[in-house]
Amino acid sequence: MLKKRKTLTTLLIWLALQFLCMIPAFLIIFPIAKATDMSMEERGTYMTLITLILAQLLSLLIFRLLKYFRFSETVKPVPKAKTLIMSVAGGISLFYAINIIQAQFDIPDLLEQQMEGLLSSVWGFIAICILAPLSEEVMMRRIILKDMWRKTGKMWGGILISSAIFAIIHLNPAQVVFAFPAAIILGWLYAVTGSLSVPILVHMANNSIAFFTSQTDADDPVLSDPKTIAVLAATLAAGLILMWLIAKEKRKADLLSGQEAEITESEEVREEL
């Protein structure tokens, strides 16, 4: 039953963990806050941090116990270095273009203060740049995308449904707007390369860049600036060209695989004769 309703079960587990992990987080932070006169803002930041880390670790453990994935799938199959480099470079280029476009609109960021606290600590880096990409890619791409692909019978059915879910669960409007197109890119990379390590590394690279650039006071790009338009055009072009090259590599690999299968089949026929 759990395997037949894999997507629903996965989402319910994830949602339950977001709330249940607040309890140990509160039990850890409350006595410390009382003893050290910790501010309310600091309490909220540490509560969020502990909740995130616990929920991410427990979700991976539970999904593995349910046999929804294997830990080896996060690193295998290992893609070619060329494919990996193009995937990371192409993904980051497109993500940057999406950020430029998003910056042109006044989208409310409900978690701005909490994120500022998380983006200024080592534990925040571990939670946001390592554990979040790992747990989210396992949940959204390996489990939900693959399940929806199987149920709809179409690759793009799995990509679009899983991307919509990925955007919705972020809840924060500023993250939702970015998450949907970003998830489409990550889902496509997973579907085309067949390697979960690819979207994991692209996701990690994106979050790491966001983590470190958040420490700067750079102004949001505006399209009235010719330099911004040039950067947008360049990143879009670079990203799309790299994605095209990845698809081309995939078609070439499929063709060679098909030719090898035909050769093997003909050799078996000759042996039988």
Q: What is the pLDDT of residue 118?
A: 79
Quote the crossing angle between the two packed helices 22-36 and 40-65, to the nearest 10°.
Answer: 150
* Position with higher pLDDT, 108 vs 207: 207
Residue 140: is its pLDDT beyond 90? yes
Q: What is the pLDDT of residue 263?
A: 46
Tens of pLDDT, residue by residue over 67-93, are 999 999 998 888 889 999 999 999 999
Residue 260: is its pLDDT beyond 60? no
Exposure string of 44-66, with b = 16+ CB inside 10 Å and e = fewer, is ebbbbbbbbbbbbbbbbebbeee
Q: What is the pLDDT of residue 262?
A: 47
**pTM for this entry:** 0.89
216 to 49, 94, 219: CA distances (angstroms): 22, 21, 9
201 to 20, 242, 268: CA distances (angstroms): 29, 16, 41
CA distance 144 to 70: 15
